Amino acid sequence: MREKVKRFLNDFEKAFKNLKIAVEESVDDLDIDGSIKRFELCYELSWKLIKEYLADKGIVSHNNPKDTFKNAFANNLIDNEEPWLKMIEDRNCLVHTYTFEESRNIFERIKGSYVVSFNYLLETIKHGSEEDE
């Protein structure tokens, strides 16, 4: 595995651990807002990690999250494409058309679905990188 992929994997793993803690311990609006920011970081790192991991395997990916997530699904890095495509919408909503109410709905998706999706990706890539060694 190239050093660049290792860095993305390491950064994603740390960001994901922080997201899990934040989601589990969120009790007020400030905590929830912090969890949402941690989600945004995991989202950005996840698609860049996927892109680099696939490139390391000789699979060329496009420079956008949607195509990268579709490629990840086609190559068994993620088990369900739908939450990942919904993540794109949610991330764009948070950045471009933020509303308090919608941010709380997104937090519930982060807590209920996206953490599971990120965990699956992390375990799949870690397992794949162990097999390569």
Does this model's pTM top 0.95? My answer is no
- Check if the beta carbon of residue 23 is closer than 8 Å to that of residue 115: yes
Q: Could you say which architecture CATH assigns to the domain 3-132?
A: Up-down Bundle (1.20)
Cα–Cα distance between 119 and 9 in angstroms, integer? 12
SS (H, E, C) 7-22: HHHHHHHHHHHHHHHH
What whole-number distance in Å separates Cα of residue 107 and Cα of residue 56? Answer: 33
Q: Give the relative orientation of helices 29-56 and 3-25 as an angle to the nearest 10 degrees.
A: 160
pLDDT tens readout for residues 25-37: 999 999 999 999 9
Q: Which two tokens stand for residue 54?
A: 């696939």
DSSP state, residue 58: T
- Can you give the pLDDT at residue 90? 97
Q: pLDDT tier at 130 (50, 70, 90 boundaries)?
A: low
Q: Please report, as a single letter, which amino acid is at residue 49.
A: L
> What's the whole-number mean pLDDT along residues 83-96?
96
